[in-house]
A = this chain, B = another copy of it.
Amino acid sequence: MTTIAIVGTGLMGTSLALAIKSSNLKVDIVGTDYDSVARSGAQKSGAFKKVESRLSNAIRGADVVVFATPIQAMREMMESAANDFEEGCVVTDVGSSKKVVLQWAEEVLPKHVSFVGGHPMAGKELSGPKNADGTMFKGKAYCIVPSVNAERAAVSSVTTIAEAIGAKPFFIGVDEHDSFVAAVSHLPFMMSVALMGTASKSANWDDIAQLASSGFSDLSRLAAGDPVMHRDICVTNPEPIVAWMDSYIRELYELRNMLAKEGGPDPDALHEVFEEAMNARARWKAGILTKIDRVTSDIPSFAESMGEVFMGRRGMEAQKKFFGRLKDDPANKAKKK
């Protein structure tokens, strides 16, 4: 029987445990958390065989160890468990910044373990084990970022877990990961925080707030996320976030200037920009992710070239087939509503 230890039994760790438990994997899941509330929440979830208060008790005997704590806590956790990892143990994490985590793994983990960075693209603005949801990963990308020394078998283990919980394994280089995730996840969080700040600092906020409805609610939702998790993301991945924020501010400023145009905004120009954004989103929602049809293209994507290193051409064909389903019939699905 394989044993998986999950370090950190908050929203993410407990959701992962629930997802693994209801998968076809025959594994025992052990949890550990420094926080007694998180431990008792994890116990109540029924996903864990045991929930240990001591980190070393959870790590010992585990074939796979998953770090699911806020990022900044990982280095210390890895360090204090350094002597407890079994020979050949596969170590992974679910953090949203990969460069620092890979670096810490390289510096801190013993040579007899294999580290493979992981990052399921799933989450909620709610935190804690009581909000855990094992179905959260279904259909979502699961980034896999192996360390330079990772064994192929270790990559395969993490890939198996990702597939078992219904996610789509996505092989990606560390710099691309940290930049792309900054675009789709960290930038949207900063946007939400800035919106909440802008609105709530206004002298008229109490009147304004009464008019705020579902649009405002959606755009500000991410600002309700765990401040510790987001602080750690920002501290460990600042450059890519800044780069995307700059690009976003430029885009916003162009729109602003269209509205502030001498003599009034040009209706046709505005219409075109709004229609473009609507169409880009419709294409994304329909799974039409590229203008060049990738099936007929010979240029591999980042994900493809990374994947080939670890899975070989055959594994990648399987991955392509999986993603391919999302991509058929671009013309029909891109239709405007």
Residues of A in contact with B (beta carbons under 8 Å apart): 72, 121-123, 126-128, 140-141, 143, 168, 170, 172, 176, 179-181, 183-185, 187-202, 204-225, 227-228, 230-232, 234-235, 238, 241-242, 244-249, 251-253, 255-256, 259-260, 264-265, 267, 270-271, 273-278, 280-282, 284-285, 289-291, 294, 301-303, 323, 337
Contacts and interface: CB of A to CB of B under 8 A. Distances in A.
A212 B284 CA distance: 9
Main secondary structure of the interface of A (DSSP, over half): helix
24 contacts: A128-B337, A170-B210, A180-B204, A181-B211, A187-B195, A193-B277, A194-B248, A194-B251, A195-B248, A200-B277, A202-B247, A206-B290, A206-B294, A210-B323, A215-B222, A219-B219, A224-B282, A225-B278, A227-B278, A231-B274, A238-B264, A241-B259, A242-B256, A245-B259
A122 to B, nearest CB: 6
Contact of A206 (B220, B242, B278, B301): B301
B255 A196 contact: no
Contact of A274 (B218, B219, B227, B259): B227
A222 B180 CA distance: 22
A322 to B, nearest CB: 11
A188 B219 contact: yes
A200 to B, nearest CB: 4
Nearest to A270: B231
Nearest to A292: B206
A231 B271 contact: yes
A184 B281 contact: no
Copies in the complex: 2
A173 to B, nearest CB: 10
Contact of A185 (B200, B216, B259, B274): B216
Contacts of A267: 72, 231-232, 235
B209 A284 contact: yes
Nearest to A128: B337
A123 B277 contact: no
B210 A188 contact: no
A213 B122 contact: yes
A183 B230 CA distance: 25
A15 to B, nearest CB: 13
A141 B210 contact: yes
B265 A256 contact: no
A337 to B, nearest CB: 6
A251 B198 contact: yes
B141 A211 contact: yes
Contacts of A217: 285
A248 B200 contact: no
A222 B213 contact: no
A202 B183 contact: yes
Contacts of A218: 188, 218-219, 221-222
A167 to B, nearest CB: 11
